[in-house]
A = this chain, B = another copy of it.
Amino acid sequence: MKTVSTNKSHGGVQGVYSHESTSCNCEMTFAVFVPPQSEKQKCPILYYLSGLTCTHANVMEKGEYRAAATKHGMIIVCPDTSPRGDVVADEDVYFFGSGAGYYVDATEEPFAKHYNMYSYVTTELPSLISEHFNADMSRQSIFGHSMGGHGAITTALKNPDQYKSVSAFAPICAPSSTEWGSNAFSKYLGDESSWRGYDSVALIEDGNRVNEILVDQGDTDEFLDSGLRPHLLEGACKDAGIALTLRMQDGYDHSYYFISSFMADHIAWHAERL
């Protein structure tokens, strides 16, 4: 693991690191905020998965998470959204390929070698965090935005024992039913039957469970009906007995101006469960 940069902030250290990923077969970069408490004790970890087009840097710069992370003594880990680099198969669009890994393990060529963000987030990255930071690996939670909200909820549903809690800002709730999601899943995963393993609504229908989910969703979000569809998650959670708290936020859009407004709330909510 190489240190790209470190900056003291809110009493802790905001770092950026890179490493040769065995899951994605390329160099991956990620951000970690370490609160001051970690000098003396192991701290719980909250993973933040970002949305389409983002790297680790967007939430690091605009997410306003450090004050709350220091308040609650929490390590915040922010991976990239896809493999990167000249060796990685890509298409010249923002909704597929680089910046749009959808947190799946791809099975189809030419994507299978590199696009393994599911394994990266659930296995390789935690192992790296455990090795290099003063982290309590028995206390991990996960959240994310948009495509990263999809990633957080599916990842938690598939690994309910690994994550103590899950929340999301404006998540893509049923990617299989959307234009961009079905395009990505068909190229990464092939046959439609395999898509259900990475679709929150389908996972719940197929019996996967978490106890509760917190979702904040802006009601003027331009992607609300075309891509996010929280009512589908609401229906699935109701049928499955999952305690979904879906907060429709008046006048908020899809941007980091929205995310940062409720960031401290989400971190406090996870802290209660960690």
Residues of A within 8 A of B (CB): 7-11, 14, 61-62, 64, 66-67, 218, 220, 251-253, 255-258, 260-261, 264
Would A261 and B11 count as touching, CB distance under 8 A? Answer: yes
Would B64 and A8 count as touching, CB distance under 8 A? Answer: no
List the B side residues contacting A255 at CB < 8 Å.
Answer: 7
Partner of A8, one of B10, B61, B251: B251
Question: With A61-B61, A62-B61 in contact, is A257–B8 under 8 Å at CB?
Answer: yes
Nearest chain B residue, comparing its CB with the CB of A251 = B8
Nearest chain B residue, comparing its CB with the CB of A263 = B67
Top 9 A-B pairs, shortest CB-CB distance: A9-B257, A7-B257, A8-B251, A10-B261, A64-B64, A8-B252, A61-B62, A9-B261, A7-B255
Question: With A67-B264, A264-B67 in contact, is A7–B61 under 8 Å at CB?
Answer: no
Would B9 and A260 count as touching, CB distance under 8 A? Answer: yes
Nearest chain B residue, comparing its CB with the CB of A256 = B61
Nearest chain B residue, comparing its CB with the CB of A63 = B64
What are 15 A-B contacts with C-beta separation under 8 Å?
A7-B257, A8-B218, A8-B253, A8-B258, A8-B261, A9-B257, A9-B258, A9-B261, A10-B261, A11-B261, A14-B257, A61-B62, A61-B256, A64-B64, A64-B260
Copies in the complex: 2
> What's the Cα separation between A255 and B61 when bound, in Å?
11
> What's the Cα separation between A14 and B8 when bound, in Å?
27
> What's the Cα separation between A61 and B9 when bound, in Å?
16
List the B side residues contacting A62 at CB < 8 Å.
Answer: 61-62
List the B side residues contacting A61 at CB < 8 Å.
Answer: 61-62, 256
Interface contacts beyond A8-B218, A8-B252, A8-B253: sample of 15 additional A-B pairs, CB < 8 Å, sorted by A: A7-B253, A7-B255, A8-B251, A8-B258, A9-B257, A9-B258, A9-B260, A11-B261, A14-B257, A61-B256, A64-B64, A64-B67, A64-B260, A66-B261, A67-B264
- In the complex, how many angstroms separate the beta carbon of A243 from the nearest chain B beta carbon? 26
Partner of A66, one of B14, B253, B260: B260
- In the complex, how many angstroms separate the beta carbon of A42 from the nearest chain B beta carbon? 22
Would A7 and B67 count as touching, CB distance under 8 A? Answer: no
> What's the Cα separation between A261 and B66 when bound, in Å?
8
> What's the Cα separation between A14 and B256 when bound, in Å?
11
> What's the Cα separation between A258 and B6 when bound, in Å?
12
List the B side residues contacting A10 at CB < 8 Å.
Answer: 260-261
Nearest chain B residue, comparing its CB with the CB of A68 = B67
